[in-house]
Amino acid sequence: MVYESAYVPGLLQTERYARWLIDNHVPTLDEETVERRVAARMERQGILTEHKPLVDLSFVVFEAALRVPQVDTDQLRRLLDASRLRNVVLQVLPFERTTPAALMGPMVLLETRDHERFAFAEGTLSSELSADPEVVRQTTERLSMIRTQALRPDDSARFIERMVDHQ
C-alpha cells in the first residue's frame, strides 16, 4: 500500500493526534462515535507489524502535516519508529519541493495479494475507491511524481529527527 497525505496517515498516528483529528470533525461527532473511531484507528495500526505475511507500506507525508501544533514530540517519534520497520518506507515532502500534484489531497494506492489494484482519493466532502484502470493509472502517476520530489527515506528520518531536537 502506498499513501500520500496532507496529514499524518492514520496508520502512523498516536492516539492523541488521532483523537484531535476525529474530535474536530465537522459536523461535530458525539463522544461515543469519537471513541469508536479512535479505537478503530488504533486497532488498524496492527497492519504495521501483526499481519502475516507483513504488508509492505509506503508513506509520503507533506511537511505541512508535520508543522501543525498538534504534531508533538510523541507523534514525531511514532513516525520515526514506524520508519525503522522493515516493511515501512516513509518519505517527507518538504515545502520547497512541493508540486501541484501534492496539493490535490490525500490518496492511497492498494494492491491485493491477487494483484488487484485500487485507488482511493480523499476529499473534504467525499472519498472515492476505484478499481478503474485509468483512475489507478492516474493516481499511480501522481504518486510517482510526488515520490520523486520527496526526500529519500534516510533523509526523511533525519528531517524528522531534527524536528524532534527543536521541539
Q: pLDDT by residue (tens digit) across 80-125?
A: 999 999 999 999 999 999 877 777 778 889 988 888 999 998 877 7
Q: pLDDT by residue (tens digit) across 14-50?
A: 999 999 999 998 889 999 999 999 999 999 999 999 9
Nearest Cα to Cα of residue 113 among 159, 37, 58, 56:
56
Beta-ladder partners of 129: 120
Distances (CA, A) of 57 to 4, 89, 96: 11, 6, 25
What is the structure's pLDDT at 85? Answer: 96
Q: pLDDT by residue (tens digit) across 5-21?
A: 557 889 999 999 999 99
Burial 123-160 (b: 16+ CB within 10 A, else e): eeeeeeeeeeeebbeebeebbeebbebbbebeebbeeb
Contact 79, 65 (CB under 8 A): no
Q: Which pTM was predicted?
A: 0.90
What value does the mean pLDDT take over residues 125-139?
Answer: 91
Dihedral pair phi/psi, residue 83, rounded to 5°: -65, -15
